[in-house]
């Protein structure tokens, strides 16, 4: 995998969080959990809190992330807890998906790709949700002013209406915007959507 500022940023952050045993679901993961069923893909799983929580509800989870530190932690925790989670390091910018899933979660990832790649990956994720299944997508949107975590040439702040536009024809189970304060008076503005694919 080639060097990438965003991957390095989060790999270092994950290593710091491991020292603090950060295992609590973030607000976006907490929104996702009630909708997850069956075979779940956690695309950009981070430390695996959502993957482990989903497995504890009876889901079979595939967890992918570009951070070796994160994936090592997920594997160790899944083994210790007997959770049905398969975790792998992957370059998610061009990951070739092989199967379909009842639920696909992608929280806090797509904005770290250039927009063309982000939209291509989103379309791929949508195509691998089984009919009647759900996609849970969370991105940063325009209005975000905290940029320290981004690779300068490779990021994408989504238009506020982008998620709803790209899930036309799906049943929207949940949609919200959330603002969070960031260092130096900056702002992170998120859009989160839970959408159900039409049944076949």
Residue pLDDT, tens place only, 1-10:
555 655 566 5
Q: In percent, how much of the chain has pLDDT > 70? A: 88
Helix 68-81 crosses helix 5-19 at what angle (to 10 degrees)?
40
Residue 192's H or E segment, with its range, is: strand 187-196
The 10s digit of each residue's pLDDT in 185-200 is 999 999 999 999 999 7
DSSP tag of 22 = -
pLDDT (0 to 100) of residue 4: 63
Sheet strands (E) in 53-186: 60-65, 85-89, 101-107, 129-140, 171-181
Q: What is the mean pLDDT of the chain?
A: 91
Give the residue from 182, 105, 101 showing the smallest Cα distance to 138.
105
pLDDT at 2: 54
How many residues belong to the chain? Answer: 200
**Interatomic CA distance for residues 54 and 59, integer angstroms:** 6
Domains of the chain: 5-196 (3.40.50.150)
The 10s digit of each residue's pLDDT in 159-178 is 999 999 999 999 999 999 99
Q: Is the pTM of this model over 0.75?
A: yes
Percent of the chain with pLDDT over 90: 82
pLDDT in tens, 37-92: 999 999 999 999 999 999 999 999 999 999 999 999 999 999 999 999 999 999 99
Of 55, 187, 43, 180, give the one whose Cα is nearest residue 121.
43
Contacts of 44 (CB under 8 A, 6+ apart): 64, 65, 66, 92, 106, 107, 108, 109
Q: Number of C-alpha atoms within 13 angstroms, CB side, residue 48?
A: 32
Are 39 and 186 in contact by the 8 Å Cβ rule? The answer is no
């Amino acid at each position: 995998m080639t060097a990438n500022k965003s991957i390095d940023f989060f790999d270092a952050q994950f290593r710091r969080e491991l020292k603090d045993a950060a295992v609590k679901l973030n607000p976006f993961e907490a929104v996702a959990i009630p909708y997850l069923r069956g075979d779940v893909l956690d695309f950009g799983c981070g430390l695996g809190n959502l993957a482990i929580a989903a497995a504890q509800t009876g889901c079979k989870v595939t967890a992918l992330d570009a951070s070796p530190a994160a994936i090592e932690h997920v594997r160790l925790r899944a083994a210790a807890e007997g959770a049905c989670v398969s975790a792998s390091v992957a370059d998610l910018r061009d990951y070739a998906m092989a199967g379909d899933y009842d639920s696909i979660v992608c929280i806090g990832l797509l904005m770290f790709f250039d927009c063309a790649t982000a939209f291509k990956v989103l379309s791929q994720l949508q195509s691998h949700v089984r009919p009647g299944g759900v996609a849970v997508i969370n991105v940063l949107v325009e209005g975000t002013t905290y940029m320290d975590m981004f690779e300068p040439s490779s990021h994408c702040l989504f238009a506020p209406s982008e998620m709803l536009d790209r899930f036309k024809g799906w049943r929207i189970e949940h949609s919200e915007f959330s603002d969070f304060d960031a260092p130096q008076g900056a702002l992170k503005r998120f859009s989160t959507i839970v959408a159900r694919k039409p049944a076949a």
